[in-house]
Amino acid sequence: MSSVQRVGYALALPIILIAAWWFATANSTSFFWPPLQSILEVFPETWFEGRFVADVIPSVTRLLTGYAIALLIGIGVGVAVGSSRVLRETAEPVLEFLRAVPPPVLVPVIMLFAGIGDGMKISVIAFGCVWPILLNTVEGVRGVDEVLSDTARTYGLGTATRVRSLTLRAASPQIMAGARQGLSVGIILMVISEMFAASNGLGFTTVQFQRSFAIPEMWTGIILLGLIGVVLAFVFRLVERRVLSWYLGLRAAQRKG
């Protein structure tokens, strides 16, 4: 399949959905369902005349910071738990308990310790993102071929070298799967965390539009959140292809064979 065909397939459904939305609301008189044309007309002035710096950049910064913390903790703890049977059996009940706790429920608790600033929002994002990353890392590490691990020990490779060259590499497909899930969770929690005692951010501003009955502006916030999700997913896919180039190449070779 050529690059042009891939782009065509990727854009076909969005174009169809946008066209359907446009024509379905073209003559709408509903206060809560304005025409798409009206929403697009107010989009630039709503977000690119001061709010981009005041709201969008802080939101994305908090999201990326919390996500980075979740990656470090999730991969680090996941490798340790996945590599040790004793540690896994000891930690599993606690991990399952914490994973079952919805992050939004902990917002009031986190506010008591982290206040109402960026620390609270980053903590909520990190707490929610860490679980898919951690649990996928554990499963990925557990699935590493024991023959390869024994061979690495026989050749005298140190622990750090084994983890870097064998464990992380072999577990990387599942780690990236968990990281992809964590990113989706992070975007949701970014919005939720900004609904509590916030003074800026995409979630805060979109809710303010809704409360002040600025409905077209509210819809622009929803659209902007979707666009940010698309951009982050595209960037993640580029990183994933680079990290998993060996794995994708192996799968392609197996299909040809």
Chain centroid to CA 154: how far?
Answer: 39
pLDDT at 83: 84
pLDDT of 158? 74
Read off the amino acid at residue 251. R
Q: For residues 27 and 174, is the Cβ–Cβ distance under 8 A?
A: no
First vs last C-alpha separation in the chain:
19
Q: Of 1.10.3720.10, 3.30.413.10, 1.10.357.10, 3.30.365.10, which CATH number belongs to 51-256?
A: 1.10.3720.10
Q: What is the pLDDT of residue 105?
A: 79
State how far the Cα of 171 lies from the Cα of 142, in Å rounded to an integer: 8
CA dist., res. 160 & res. 156, Å (int): 12
Q: Which single residue is written with the structure tokens 């996500």?
A: 67
- Give the pTM: 0.89
> So what's the pLDDT on residue 56?
92
Q: Which residues contact 42 (CB under 8 A, 6 or more apart)?
A: 216, 217, 220
| Helical packing angle, 215-243 and 168-193, nearest 10° | 170
Listed as ranges, residues in the chain with pLDDT below 70 are 1-3, 257
The model's pLDDT over 208-257, given as tens digits with 9 standing for 90+, comes to 999 999 999 999 999 999 999 999 999 999 999 998 887 777 777 777 76
**pLDDT at residue number 65:** 96
35 within 8 A of 28, measured Cβ to Cβ:
yes
Q: Where are the domains of the chain?
A: 51-256
- Closest C-alpha to 217, from 60, 57, 53, 38: 38
